[in-house]
Structures are given as C-alpha cells and as structure tokens.
Structure 1
Amino acid sequence: MPKALWNGAVIADSDDTVVVEGNHYFPRDAVDPAVLRPSSTTTVCPWKGTASYHSIVVDGKENRDAAWFYPEPKSAAAEIADRIAFWKGVEVR
C-alpha cells in the first residue's frame, strides 16, 4: 500500500493511488488534513489544467508547496480529480 512520508510522519496512506507521470495521486480522504496548509501558489499544465498547492507542516516544520492537486482537471486528467500528489522530499513508498 503506497504511503507518503515526510519528517517522520505518514501523511497519506492508500491502496487506491493513480500514477501519472511517475507521481502517486492519493485520494483526498487518504491524506491527513491536519498536515495541510493552504497556499496561494498555482501552476498550469497544458493537459491537466491549473494546479493548486498546499504546504505540509509536521512537528512545527514546514515543507512549502509540497503537495499539489487539480481542483478542476481537464477531461484528459479526470482520473486525478479529488486527489493529491507530493514532491519536495516527501517520500512515497
């Protein structure tokens, strides 16, 4: 079962991830909401749409913009709706 870990904590855990471009997208309800902080950062992918970000906070340490999601993915990326992926040192195993 894939797990996302950062700063010694499991921040997501699910056997229902979708892998796109090598990234595991976890169902939103599989991610610990207590570690997510809203961010104003956005980026645009030509085929997935506009991504929004969360920073991750564990034990007082922040990993800025380390989680991203597509609030309204384009139809080509519909499978990642309501899912969150990670980077910036978040280990998925």
Structure 2
Amino acid sequence: MKAHVNGTVIAEAPESELITIEGNWYFPPSSIVPGMLTESPTPYTCPWKGECQYFTVTVDGQSLPDRAWSYPTPYPSGIARVGKDFSNYVAFWKEVTVSE
C-alpha cells in the first residue's frame, strides 16, 4: 500500500503491516519517507485512542497542514479495542491518497 500526493509517495508498506482503524489505513512508522512530515501544534485527544499528534505533509514545496496523524502513546484500552499496538502508526486524509 502507498500513501501519496500527486504521485509522490509519502509512505509505503505491505498491506499486512498496516492497521485499519475507523476506515483509515495506519502505516507503520518505519514506512514513512523521511522529511515528508513535520509535527503540527494542533491539539486533539480521542476519547478512546488517546492524545493525537498531527503532522503537516510537505510535498514539492507545498505544505498540507494536519493531513497526517498518529497516536504516540494510545490508551491501553484503545490498543485492546483495535487488537494491535498502533503506537506511532500514521494515517492520512484529504489530498493524501492511499492505494495499492
């Protein structure tokens, strides 16, 4: 699976290594292309997953604020609910397309 913006790959991993949560594909941290994400100050805490870290996606000089997110330290009950530890896995939205 690949996460990409206008053909530029941001993350790539076999589907077996991804985790699906609420319809979003979460990529393992090791699959993220270095330099594509920078931490965003946007705060959010999911009631069942925990504190979220948003990222700005930067591709070809274009910054896309808050188009990626992860949960650095998800709640233990959230990990139990998902059935896998999704700490630091990254999901994407809007201009970022996920495809095979």
What is aligned with 1:77?
78
Residue 11 of structure 1: aligned partner: 10
Report the Cα distance in structure 1 between the residues aligned to 2:40 and 2:34, rounded to whole angstroms: 14
- One-letter code aligned to 1:83: Y
Give the deviation of 1:8 after TM superposition. Answer: 2.3
Q: Counterpart in 2 of 1:88?
A: 94
Aligned-residue RMSD, C-alpha? 1.1
CA offsets per residue over residues 59-92 of structure 1, 9 Å max, x none? Answer: 1001111110011101133321121111122101
What's the secondary structure of 1:89's corresponding residue?
Answer: coil
How many residue pairs align between the two structures? 92
Question: Whose strand fraction is larger, Structure 1's or Structure 2's?
Answer: 1
The two structures have a TM-score, normalised by structure 1, of 0.92
* TM-score (normalised: structure 2): 0.86
Cross-structure match for 2:82: none
Secondary structure of the equivalent of 1:88?
coil
**Which shows bigger deviation, 12-21 or 71-80?**
71-80
